[in-house]
Amino acid sequence: MQERATVGRGAATRQRRADAERSIEAILDATLKETPANGELNMSAIARAAGVSRVTLYTHFPTREALVDAALQRGFAQTQQALSELALEDGPPRQVLAQLLRSSWQVVERHRNLYMVASANLPPAQLRAYAEPVLGRVERLLARGRSEGEFRADLPLDWLVATVYTLMHLGAQQVATGRASADRAGELVSLTIMTLLTSPPGCGRIEPQASL
């Protein structure tokens, strides 16, 4: 009898854990999809969209900041997944960069409202830290392009990577504030980045230790 009771408690615990995981997944998905353009994240609206109670929502995410933080990590993970499907080490660097920008922009644009909320609720250093795995891929591609003479080498590599990051989020902000359509902003972001990275006439390579 005791053994049956122990087995029963174990099964109940696993069921509760599975239920909790499903609730968390539903909440994060709803946050990514339902964050409004005005940046006002409504916890009750998120709970309704996720199909859970407010009590369940606050059990898993006690504060707005905790929810934004977790959803943002999920958003960047999706960006990383999208980029992992690209062969960044193969092909002409300019062509690969164009593919990378298209894939990145699709994810950034999809979650632009959440990024606006995150910018208002989380420290800039924390936001940048979540982007580091993605930016690492960008940096490796730019470094390869510089070594092959495809991209400019008169500016520090870390500055160029930071500029790519900033321009992507500037594009998302333009869409969120209604100053540009998603398609137009994506075109402008890609054109600006590609133009910026093109080596100017007479541009020579710089030594790796050069930095700001």
Residue 176 pLDDT exceeds 80? no
Q: Are residues 5 and 98 in the same domain?
A: no
What's the average model confidence in pLDDT over 98-125? Answer: 80
Which uninterrupted H or E stretch holds 190? Answer: helix 182-197
**Could you tell me if 81 and 97 lie in one domain?**
yes
- Say if residue 44 is in the same domain as residue 104: no
Kindly state whether residues 96 and 17 are assigned to the same domain. no
pLDDT for position 38: 65
Are 71 and 54 within one domain? no
d(CA 61, CA 63): 6
The residue from 35, 62, 89 where one domain ends is 62
d(CA 97, CA 140): 11
Instruction: Let me know whether 45 and 133 are in one domain.
Output: no
Please check whether residues 137 and 165 belong to one and the same domain: yes
| Domain co-membership, 38 together with 71 | no
**Taking 60 as the threshold, does the pLDDT of residue 212 lie above it?**
no
The residues, ordered by sequence, that sit 6+ positions from 20 with a Cβ below 8 Å of its Cβ are 60
Residue pLDDT, tens place only, 42-81: 889 899 999 999 999 999 999 988 998 898 888 878 777 7
Instruction: Identify residue 142 by its one-letter amino acid code.
Output: L
Average pLDDT for 75-92? 76
| Single residue among 62, 84, 112 that ends a domain in this structure | 62
> Where residue 184 sits, what CATH number does that domain have?
1.10.357.10
Q: Is the CB of residue 27 less than 8 Å from the CB of residue 52? A: yes
Q: How many helices (H) and strands (E) does the chain have?
A: 9, 0
Q: Based on the domain organization, do 48 and 95 belong to the same domain?
A: no
Both 73 and 114 in one domain: the answer is yes
134-164 residue pLDDT tens: 888 889 999 999 999 999 999 999 999 999 9
Q: Taking 80 as the threshold, does the pLDDT of residue 82 lie above it?
A: no
Residues 116 and 183 in one domain: yes
pTM above 0.75, yes or no: no
Average pLDDT over residues 3-11: 57
pLDDT tens figures, 180-198: 898 899 899 999 999 999 8
Q: What gap in Å lies between CA 141 and CA 182, rounded to an integer?
A: 25
Q: Is 19 left (phi over 0), alpha (psi -120 to 50) or beta?
A: alpha
**127 and 27, same structural domain?**
no
Q: Which of 43, 62, 81 is the last residue of a domain?
A: 62
195 lies in which domain range?
Answer: 64-212
Provide the number of structural domains found in the chain. Answer: 2
Choice between 204 and 10, residue whose per-residue pLDDT is larger: 10
Give yes or no for residue 207 having a pLDDT over 60.
no
**Residue 12: DSSP 8-state:** H
Q: What is the mean pLDDT of residues 117-145?
A: 84
